Amino acid sequence: MRTQERDPAAESQPHAGEVVVAETGDGRLQQSVAAAGHSLFADEPIERGGGGTGPDPYDLLLAALGACTSMTLRLYADRKGWPLERVRVVLGHRKIHAEDCRDCETRIGLLDEIDRGIELSGPLEAEQRARLLEIADHCPVHRTLKSEIVIRTRELPRP
């Protein structure tokens, strides 16, 4: 196993709105992730060939959706002056057969399904709780995942 001597993603500070991901050389799949002055590791679990040293890519995707959902609900409740004490979001991801999805346009192959459970603590009225669950679908990450996404790939020049 190669040893980690440096944090390759943090070597060049990402610009605003940019995330840098680079192999660490420590383990087969471990990645260093640098974003907005913060860093963390991503990896695959041991059973999938990684070292289990960090969340896997789907965990990071779910974390982004969960964090955005919680923040969106907090901002909305605060703006409305509602007595929301705490938000907790529990997410899961799995692949499902398209033919098993009643609400999906795609009918062939596999689809990604994200299950999002939202726990709202505080003395909220039933209408407030219902509205907050509606607002969850308006968080920016949710909207991004539901929209058409264009990913442009290019090779960067070597330093």
Q: In the 3-class helix/strand/coil scheme, how is 99-152 assigned residue by residue?
A: HHCCCCCCCCCEEEEEEEEEEEECCCCHHHHHHHHHHHCCCHHHHHHHCCCCCC
- Mean pLDDT to the nearest integer, 71-96: 96
List where CATH 3.30.300.20 sits in the chain.
57-146
Question: Most distant CA pair in the chain: distance in Å?
Answer: 57
The C-alpha atoms of residue 141 and residue 43 are separated, in whole angstroms, by 22
pLDDT digits (tens, 9 = 90+) for 35-64: 999 999 999 999 999 999 999 999 999 999
Could you tell me the pTM of the whole model? 0.85
Identify the architecture of domain 57-146 in CATH: 2-Layer Sandwich (3.30)
pLDDT digits (tens, 9 = 90+) for 130-155: 999 999 999 999 999 999 999 999 99
pLDDT at 89 over 80: yes
